[in-house]
Chains A and B, each alone.
Chain A
Amino acid sequence: MKRSLPLAIVFIGGVVFFISYFVPHYISEEILQRQIMVEWIKVISLFAFVIGLYSLIHLHVNKIKRKVDNWQYSILTLSGIGVMFIVGILLPEKFNGGIQQGSIYDWIFMNLQVPLQATMFSLLAFYITSAAFRAFKARSVEATCLLLAAVVVMLGRVPLGETIRSITQGFLDFPKWTQWILDVPNTATKRAIMLGVALGMMATSLKIILGIERSWLGGSE
């Protein structure tokens, strides 16, 4: 029951929704694909987010309770969640609560979260440059291809590329080469990867529907 019921639900749901795609009928188009697929799935997924939130809060509360290493930082994480919860959900709109533009929630987002995230990602510029130095050492033909493509794309996307084109009177046309690399070899690569991913996704979907793939059920009975 505990394992067979979910497996039966997956099988029925999978088969019904697969067939519904090929049947242009009111039930398949309006009820299955619009109402259930769009509206119901959203509602069910909302609760999954709540579980994720609970897990995170539970983790940090436990860290504080057990006073594990660096537990003090968990207070900051929980404070962040708490502040946003109060100003975004509990505080009425007349006191600048809510999530609309101009609210306290929006002010915190613009003045704290956006700079923090932007700086965090910009920090990667330093590490990605160091990684590039190591990856781009042209030790083989493959590494040379990687190096040349990256250098051309980087030069083609900055004003320096335009300047070089002007100086060389169009002989070294990095912007044009960049576009070609993105349109042809890059598209070919992405397309091949996407086809592989799609075939893998279909095989996995089929395995899930037929009950061959059961890891999502978890280990216990």
Chain B
Amino acid sequence: MAFWSVFGTILAALATLAIFSFLYKDNPFYRSAEHIMIGLSVGYGLGQLWHLGFKQFLFDPLFKEARYELLIPTAIGMLYFGFVHPKTRWLIRIPIAILMGIMAGFGLGPGMQASIFKQVQGTIIPLFRYGLTVGETFSNILLIVGVFSAIVYFFFSWKHKGVVGGVAKVGIYFLMIGFGASFGLTVMGRISLLIGRIVFLFQDLPKVLFGG
């Protein structure tokens, strides 16, 4: 096996063990690995930013395709550097204002379409229809009750008393079931990552080091 492949596997194993050492207690190996990870992640982002960001969206269109209109967003983006001096610091508000304005305006229209209309549309489902089984009808009723009661729970303009309080209580049960399911999925995701690391340490690493 090539030297770099073996060396890479050993490096990966050392990195894995350094992070796992935190299970005993906070120690310099863990801290070093943690800081290296942050540095590498930022460095990785930097490489992506340069090649898939600046080169792809700015330099290549600007210099190879002569799309000089891109100088306008470039000039706007350069205003971010105004923050280096106290007198020009306020200039940073201009690119932020442009992004905020566009995002806010765009969020109102398509945001309403994607997040409200689509969700309401998905909730308007047949309760009783020829061909629906009892189980499907029950699930559909439960879905509508769940959405409605959970929304009522989040509605704080009325006091949660009487009928509103009762509906909100049902909403809490739905929320708890939903959070429980999400928690279960998260736990399973983490456990599967842990299994992956254990398999690497006890199967892949010995194979690379000792063959087999």
Contacts and interface: CB of A to CB of B under 8 A. Distances in A.
B164 to A, nearest CB: 15
Interface in A188-203: 188-199, 201-202
Interface residues of A, number: 126
A205 B177 contact: no
Contact of A44 (B11, B95, B106): B95
Interface in A93-112: 98-99, 105, 107-112
A146 to B, nearest CB: 4
At the interface, is chain A mostly helix, strand, loop or mixed?
helix
At the interface, is chain B mostly helix, strand, loop or mixed?
helix
A81 B150 contact: no
A27 interface: no
A158 B22 CA distance: 28
Interface in A138-186: 141-143, 145-154, 157-158, 178, 180-186
A67 B146 CA distance: 56
A150 B187 contact: yes
A149 B147 contact: no
B173 A7 contact: no
B168 to A, nearest CB: 12
B181 A150 contact: yes
Interface string B142-183: 111111101101100000000000000001111111111111
A26 interface: no
Contact of B177 (A14, A129, A185): A185
Given A88-B50, A111-B8, A157 B177 contact: no
B95 A14 contact: no
B78 interface: yes
A195 B115 contact: yes
A205 B142 contact: no
Contact of B54 (A14, A46, A128, A180): A46
A54 to B, nearest CB: 9
A119 B15 contact: yes
A89 B112 CA distance: 41
A221 B99 CA distance: 20
Contact of A112 (B15, B32, B93): B15
Nearest to A78: B39
Highest count of chain B CB atoms <10 Å: which of A11, A12, A108, A120: A120
A166 B97 CA distance: 60
Q: Which 3 A-B pairs give the minimum distances between C-beta atoms?
A: A80-B39, A84-B43, A13-B101
14 contacts: A40-B76, A41-B99, A53-B46, A76-B35, A84-B44, A119-B16, A119-B19, A153-B184, A185-B174, A187-B146, A192-B174, A198-B112, A202-B112, A217-B93
Interface of A: 2-3, 5-7, 9-18, 20-22, 35-37, 39-51, 53, 56, 70, 73-74, 76-85, 88-89, 98-99, 105, 107-126, 128-129, 132, 135, 141-143, 145-154, 157-158, 178, 180-199, 201-202, 204-206, 208-209, 216-218, 220-221
